[in-house]
Amino acid sequence: MAVTPTFPSRETLSRLKFRPLDVGVGVAVLLLIYIAVRVGAGARAPAHPSTTISLSPANLPYYAVRSLLRMFIALFFSYSFSLGYAYVAARSRRWRRVLIPALDILQSVPVLGFLAVTVTFFVALFPGSELGFECAAIFAVFTSQAWNITFSFYHSLISQPSEFDEASKLMGLSRWKRFWSVDVPGGAIGLVWNGMMSFGGSWFFLTASEFISVSGRHYTLPGVGSYVAVAEAQGNLADVVWGIVTMIIIIVVVNFFFWRPLVAYVEKFRNEQSESELQARSLFLDTLRRSNWPRALGRGRQALALPVNRVMGRVTGIDDQSLAVHEIRRRAADVAFAVVLTIALGFALYSMLAYIATGADGLAVFGTAFEDGLITFVRVLVVVVVASVIWVPVGVWIGFNPRVAQFMQPIVQILASFPANFIFPFAIVVFLDIGLPLNFGAIVLMALGTQWYVLFNVIAGASAVPSDLKEAMDNLGVRGLDRWRRFVLPSIFPAYVTGAITAAGGAWNATIVAEIVTYDNKTLVAKGLGSFIALNSGTTHLPELFAGLLVMSLLVTGVNVLWWRRLYRLASTRFALA
């Protein structure tokens, strides 16, 4: 006679049993939440323009947590924005014509340009509270993170293999289900690597976002960026070094507990038939997987996701058309849309020109702005070309060698995440010693913060190449220049285009801090559009500021239409991995 098993079973009891590891993970999560809530409460303090930053190194841990909290809040909104924005741009030809040029403009507008426009809104939203300035700083960090992530996900969507459309139709997936089952996993590697790059790149603008000017008054938010800014202004290189040491510690900790686990996790979304010889590993992720918390949270997520998926599946409907067919719209609707858009943009441009005409120089300010813009354009061109020549071979070497990538990824993350403007004082000292004017030195300062976009995207693109193709090239004996021409460059070309266009946009953005540098109460200015915008960023020079931003937008949009859009089209048609 069969023996009836007892309830609960021994397996169930073993699953429900919490080990010391689970207790440790739970305590760590609760402690992290407590620190975030406790430190975040400081943002509700009254706002005072006389707030000063203490240069005592003992305050750096608190400043570091405040800066990290801003960065992660901005990162959450950046991913949320990028997923929605890129999806609409990729799935709708009509909206793509508006959203992609708008994205080109947005990524080129300097952080100070956003702050000058948005800080008044956030301060009015939270009058008398430091929370308004916190929101303005978070929004500024968001603007330095979101565009690169959006470009990456947009490119992964438009370069999806056609087989994904057919599989989605055969399986009857709703648009909602396809988004989370096909679209997001297909772009997961690029999302993580570009999120890592955006997170690191946003440290570059932390100083500008933590030091805000309103109506002639300066408000300083506690943070590592403002600490280094005050130390630089006073010429205290020893305190700058303390800030640099703090930044290195922050980068290492964030990489170990956040980015490294994500890099290892998204390896499962790699599209290949045979398993790679060596996959990325994370000690912290392995520890989490050995605990019971992921399984417990997974059950809760599934219980919550089931009704949400049912509702969203009915709302979005089944995507029964391929992307090419889905983009076809009635000609009458396209014409109506174009007319409405033209009228709206024409009215907005007329209003802006009328406002700029009220400035001291009137519309003649555009002559100076365009002259400075051409000088800055040459600097941006040099930065992108030099970064491509140097970092494309390095990125391919790292991405094609998993063992090298496992060792180099933390090092690259530290180099890319480190805010280059923290070492600007040392660079300025060198420039002064060797007699290098800032007109040429600004190219070096711009490259320090934006060259990593090329490297990270090339690494991500090379890492995503199926190992089957690499093995096939080895078996066929394709090597040397022929291998680069036939296999390597076509494989990484889509990722390189994303990296190059974001590097160019980042270089335009970086001009705001590279063409005008203050150190030891001395200000060095290089002629260019970035310094033009920085010098007119006060509230009394808003017409000149808008003129500079408009010229920068026109230059960036023109270059993107004439050059980058064509490369994007080539990458999505000829060089997309099918």
Q: Determine contact, residues 173/181, Cβ cutoff 8 Å.
A: yes
Angle between helices 489-514 and 438-450 (to 10 degrees): 130
Q: Given a cut of 70, is residue 327 above it in pLDDT?
A: no
> Where is average pLDDT lowest: 111-125, 235-249, 422-436, 448-462?
111-125
Q: pLDDT category, 6, cuts 50, 70, 90?
A: very low
C-alpha distances (whole Å) from 230 to each of 39, 51, 235, 268, 449 are 22, 12, 9, 45, 20
What is the mean predicted confidence (pLDDT) over 220-230? 84
Q: Tokens 């993107």 map to which residue?
A: 560
Mean pLDDT of the chain: 78
Q: Give residue 511's pLDDT band: very low, low, confident or very high (50, 70, 90).
A: confident
Lowest mean pLDDT of 105-109, 176-180, 302-306, 345-349, name the range: 302-306
Name the pLDDT band for 334 (thresholds 50, 70, 90): low
At residue 379, the pLDDT reads: 93
- Asked whether residue 170 carries a pLDDT value surpassing 80, the answer given is no
Which segment of 33-47, 248-262, 371-385, 400-414 scores lowest on mean pLDDT? 33-47
Q: Give the range with max mean pLDDT: 71-80, 100-109, 162-171, 341-350.
A: 71-80
Identity at 530, one-letter amino acid code: G
Q: How confident is the model at residue 508 (pLDDT cuts 50, 70, 90)?
A: confident
Instruction: Please check the confidence at residue 481 and state whether its pLDDT lies above 50.
Output: yes
Q: Give residue-wise pLDDT tens across range 521-569.
A: 777 888 998 888 878 776 567 788 888 888 888 888 888 888 887 887 7
**Tokens coding 370:** 């365009």
For position 247, what pLDDT does the model report?
A: 86
**What confidence tier does 129 reach under pLDDT thresholds 50, 70, 90?**
confident
Q: Which residue has the higher pLDDT, 129 or 67?
A: 67
CA distance 522 to 429: 12
Cis-peptide into 8, omega within 30 deg: yes
Instruction: Give the domain ranges of the chain.
Output: 59-270+279-573
Predicted pLDDT at 311: 65
Residue 279 has pLDDT above 60, yes or no: yes
Q: Average pLDDT in the 213-229 region?
A: 75
More confident residue, 475 or 326: 475
For the residues 377-395, what does the mean pLDDT come to? 93
Instruction: Give tens-digit pLDDT for 414-453.
Output: 776 677 777 777 777 788 788 888 888 888 888 887 788 8
Give the Cα separation of 385 and 389 in Å (integer): 6
Residue 51 has what pLDDT? Answer: 56
pLDDT in the model for residue 331: 67
Measured between alpha carbons, how far is 253 from 259 in angstroms, rounded to an integer? 10
Question: What is the spatial distance between Cα 325 and Cα 331, in angstroms, rounded to a whole number?
Answer: 14
pLDDT at 123: 78
Q: Name which residue leads in pLDDT, 376 or 541.
A: 376
Q: What's the average model confidence in pLDDT over 228-239? A: 80
| Averaged pLDDT for residues 105-118 | 67
pLDDT digits (tens, 9 = 90+) for 406-415: 777 667 767 7
C-alpha distance from residue 46 to each of 41, 49, 52, 293 (Å): 11, 10, 14, 39
**Whole-number Å distance between alpha carbons of 360 and 573:** 49
Among 180-189, 330-339, 492-501, the range scoring the smallest mean pLDDT is 330-339
Q: Which residue has the tokens 């049912």?
A: 310
pLDDT band for position 383 (50/70/90)? very high
Mean pLDDT of all residues in 205-232: 75
Structure tokens at 557: 């949009």
What average pLDDT does this structure show over 45-58? Answer: 70
- The mean pLDDT value for 275-283 works out to 63
* 80-94 residue pLDDT tens: 999 999 998 888 877
CB 174 within 8 A of CB 319: yes
> Rounded mean pLDDT of 147-176?
79
- The residue with tokens 């098993």 is 5
pLDDT at residue 473 greater than cutoff 60: yes
Please give the pLDDT value at position 12: 45
Under a CB-based contact definition with an 8 Å cutoff, are residues 575 and 498 in contact? no
Q: What is the dihedral of CA 34, 35, 37, 43, to 10 degrees?
A: 160
Q: State which of 9-18, 22-31, 228-237 shows the largest mean pLDDT.
A: 228-237
User: Sign of torsion, CA 345 348 351 352?
Assistant: negative
pLDDT, position 114: 64
Q: Give the percent of the chain with pLDDT over 90.
A: 8
**Whether pLDDT at 576 is above 70:** no
Nearest Cα to 527, choosing from 519, 518, 535? 535
Q: What is the per-residue DSSP string for 411-428?
A: HHHHHHHS-GGGGHHHHH
For residue 278, name the pLDDT band (cuts at 50, 70, 90): low
Given a contact cutoff of 8 angstroms between Cβ atoms, the answer to whether 508 and 556 are in contact is yes
Helices (H), 357-423: 365-400, 402-417
Q: How confident is the model at residue 273 (pLDDT cuts 50, 70, 90)?
A: low
Q: Quick one: CA torsion of 206, 120, 213, 544, rounded to 10 degrees?
A: 100
CA atoms within 13 A on the CB side of 23: 4
Sequence-separated (6 or more) residues with CB below 8 Å from residue 29: none
What pLDDT shows up at residue 4?
47
Fold annotation for 59-270+279-573: MetI-like fold (1.10.3720)
CB-based burial, 161-200: b 16+ in 10 Å, e otherwise: eeebbeebeeeebbbbbbbebbbbbbbbbbbbbbbbbbbb
Percent of the chain whose pLDDT exceeds 70 = 78
Instruction: Give the pair of three-digit tokens for residue 291.
Output: 């605990």
